[in-house]
Amino acid sequence: MVEDELKLLGVESKDFSALRKAGFEKIDQLLNHLPKRYEDRSSCDTVATLISGKAVCLRGSVVDFKQRHFGGNRKFSEAVFVLQGQEMSLGGRIGLRWFNMPYIRNMVAVGMELVLYGKLKESKNGLVIDHPEFEVLEDGTNGGIHVERIVPVFKSISGIPQRRLREIMWAACEEMESSRIRPFLHPGPVADRMESLRSVHFPEVLEEAHAARRELALEEFFLLQLNVLWQKKKIKTSHGVSQGQKMDLVKEFHGSLPFELTGAQKRSVREIIGDMRSPEPMHRLLQGDVGSGKTFVAMCAMLAAVDSGHQAALMAPTQILAEQHYYTFKKWLEPIGIRISLKTGGRAEKSYMKMEGGAQILIGTHALLYDGVSFEDLSLVVIDEQHRFGVEQRRKLITQAKKAPDVLVMTATPIPRTLTLSIYGDLDVSIIDELPAGRQKIVTGVRAKPKVSEVTKFLKEHLSEGRQVYIVYPLVEESENLKASSVITEHEKWRKRLKHFKVELLHGRMKPEEKDATMSAFREGGIDVLVSTTVIEVGVDVPNANIMLIYDAERFGLAQLHQLRGRVGRGEYKSYCILATNSKEDHALEKLQILSRTEDGFALAEEDLKLRGPGEILGTAQSGAGELKFIEFLGDTKLVRVAREKAESVLKSDPQLIKHQVLIPYLKESPQSLDIS
């Protein structure tokens, strides 16, 4: 049956094997293999536009064809192609070459009229195109599916050339029948899904492809929102722990602080404690810009758990960040009698206590998930920079509690509202949207090809006053493929330029104990200049450091640059962030100028969304994000809201999906596992 269905497409046995190996056994599965991009081959180019560096679409005739030799006995096919209307002009003659493709001699002959597509280059004998795609025209007809139209380009399937894959997909669209293609799953007035699929694969114009992709994206987002809301129902029906009634430790901690919490911090604490007092498990996202004081809010939540007789755990993505949290918690909480432990995978911490009634607050990396760590009475889980953890890692820590714990996930990467609604829709959200008093404004400057002598002089002036400096590079080692500076090579240069100061190296490939020793020395003032990769992006708090110098800054996203900039401005000294670039591209300089104009992380997140798209911002670890086909539409606020409203409407009218059985296979949790009546 499976083979018969694909044979309808004229799929040969070797193609069938390749398709089956790639997981395609039915026509509807093939139709879900969508184009990754499109090439506009709809109109033929002229001689004037030929040498542009871009692929061109040409129409003309073959006037000569030969088999030639190269490299000994190897052969290649060469044709002379004359542009339509340029038969008498030498400038209209182009060489076509096909290497290691002997079957071409059976496809191309003198006198044939062709439409072809490929990149022109200059050779000693004139203009040539290697391996052009082409269509043979008969009796003045137009081109087929490979030229003279908007042409889809698909993600490769091993064993099937792009041209052949396009032919198979065309046949699949031709063979498409409503009996085989299900309708759209979301309710309300919707387009014909069969027509949308045809338009996505082989549109007449690019606008048609965009509109069809948006229709299909609405269905995908509807299913995403359905799962998000379903998960939220599951959380609300779990048996959790009511805690936070007793607030003595929170009050004692607040009273010990030499500063006042901001209004946004206090509001977030109230929202979190309110959730913790409910018997339903809390699942809350705490968003706050760099330096907004999320850690102090987390401390209040964890103290509320401890005051209720339970344990709290904080999981951070890196050893450096986990240790930073450990030192901060010890500084503020040990004086009020809280027992704190640290557990990372890098080494055996002297500070680590076994769980038998020892630590009230345990801080660590993903090592908390392993190494025999067991909790006596875990009731609150705090996950910092949660976007760096996979879904399963978060779940594994949460399931170590005897009852469903309260969960607080934190991020210093401001997330645009649309993405929050899409990816974190199962979480309630608290936002810290103001900075504590005393945070220094950071002077941010963009410098194109700055002179080393001037930069060195600037750094020496501040180092001589006792300040410390970060110098950041994108690569650990030099790369043949990337024109960017490496931290290992540049570290040696900076040691010579700043020979009267202590200049050390830090990067992710160093052994954990080496990174730990280097970071500790920098934190304690034993190192003046830290030449580093982005391992210092999050969590490093050195108030004496007031300069962040970032080379090849255009290679980083705005959000990441903002995170790096947040490592300075934490003390009393005027601080600087210098964005150095060698790029000549206008868009690169424009992107960096955006950073120089604002320190508002949420505004930068919106700009980052426009520049890079949701895929690069979210990565693939997010729940559902890595599986989305239409991730480019996550920035479409209206579309996301419509999908949300449709999902809410379905669950409100049919909470157990009795009337919507067709949706159940698309849920990650089956209705039988939930009591949502």
Q: What is the pLDDT of residues 394-444, one digit of tens each?
A: 677 777 778 889 999 998 776 776 677 666 777 888 988 887 776 778 999
Question: 198: which 2 tokens?
Answer: 């045809």
Which of the four pLDDT bands, split at 50, 70 and 90, describes residue 677?
very low
The rounded distance, in Å, linking the Cα atoms of 116 and 535 is 49
In this model, does residue 482 exceed pLDDT 70? no
Q: List own/partner pairs for 392-395 with CB under 8 A and 24 or more apart.
A: 393/366, 393/369
> So what's the pLDDT on residue 599?
82
Name residues whose C-beta falls within 8 Å of residue 587's C-beta, 6 or more positions apart in sequence.
Answer: none
- 166 burial (CB, 10 Å; 0-12 / 13-18 / 19+) is buried
In this model, does residue 85 exceed pLDDT 50? yes
> Model pTM?
0.69
In this model, does residue 178 exceed pLDDT 80? no
pLDDT mean across residues, the chain: 83
Q: Please count the other Cβ atoms lying within 10 Å of the Cβ belonging to residue 333.
A: 21
Which of the four pLDDT bands, split at 50, 70 and 90, describes residue 50?
low
H helices, E strands: number in the chain:
20, 21
> So what's the pLDDT on residue 578?
96
Digit-coded pLDDT (tens) for 575-603 = 999 999 988 777 788 889 988 888 887 77
**pLDDT cut 70: percent of the chain above it:** 84
Digit-coded pLDDT (tens) for 295-314 = 999 999 999 999 999 999 99
Residue 558 in contact with residue 607, Cβ under 8 Å? yes
> So what's the pLDDT on residue 676?
31
The region of weakest confidence among 48-57, 204-213, 391-400 is: 48-57
The most confident of the ranges 166-180, 308-322, 340-354 is: 308-322
**Position with higher pLDDT, 528 vs 46:** 528
Supply the DSSP string of 262-317, one letter for each residue. PHHHHHHHHHHHHHHTSSSPPEEEEEE-TTS-HHHHHHHHHHHHHHTT-EEEEE-S
The most confident of the ranges 86-95, 150-159, 298-307, 557-566 is: 298-307
Please list the residues that pair with 99 across neighbouring strands: 76
Question: 509: which 2 tokens?
Answer: 């490939």
> So what's the pLDDT on residue 93?
85
> So what's the pLDDT on residue 549?
96
> So what's the pLDDT on residue 65?
93
Residue 101 in contact with residue 132, Cβ under 8 Å? no
Please list the residues that pair with 116 across neighbouring strands: 58, 134
> So what's the pLDDT on residue 164?
87
- 192 burial (CB, 10 Å; 0-12 / 13-18 / 19+) is middle
> So what's the pLDDT on residue 139?
57
* For range 380-391, the mean pLDDT: 76
Distance of CA 645 to the CA centre of its chain: 26
> So what's the pLDDT on residue 249?
96
> So what's the pLDDT on residue 142?
52
* For range 243-248, the mean pLDDT: 94
| Domains in the chain, CATH or no CATH each | 43-148 (2.40.50.140), 183-237+636-677 (no CATH), 248-432 (3.40.50.300), 442-598 (3.40.50.300)
The region of weakest confidence among 14-23, 50-59, 534-543, 587-596 is: 50-59
> So what's the pLDDT on residue 379?
93
> So what's the pLDDT on residue 669?
65
Residue 38 in contact with residue 203, Cβ under 8 Å? yes
Beta sheet of 575-581, edge-to-edge order: 442-448, 575-581, 545-550, 468-472, 529-532, 503-506
What is the 8-class DSSP label of residue 27?
H
The region of weakest confidence among 157-171, 407-421, 561-575, 660-674 is: 660-674
Residue 181 in contact with residue 216, Cβ under 8 Å? no
**Element spanning 454, H or E:** helix 452-464
> So what's the pLDDT on residue 201?
96
The most confident of the ranges 184-193, 524-533, 661-670 is: 524-533
**Position with higher pLDDT, 563 vs 610:** 563
> So what's the pLDDT on residue 621?
42
The region of weakest confidence among 70-84, 224-238, 593-607, 662-676 is: 662-676
CA angle 84-86-92, nearest 5°? 100
* For range 255-261, the mean pLDDT: 91
Which of the four pLDDT bands, split at 50, 70 and 90, describes residue 190?
confident
In this model, does residue 102 exceed pLDDT 90? no
Which of the four pLDDT bands, split at 50, 70 and 90, describes residue 88?
low
> So what's the pLDDT on residue 620?
41
> So what's the pLDDT on residue 352?
46
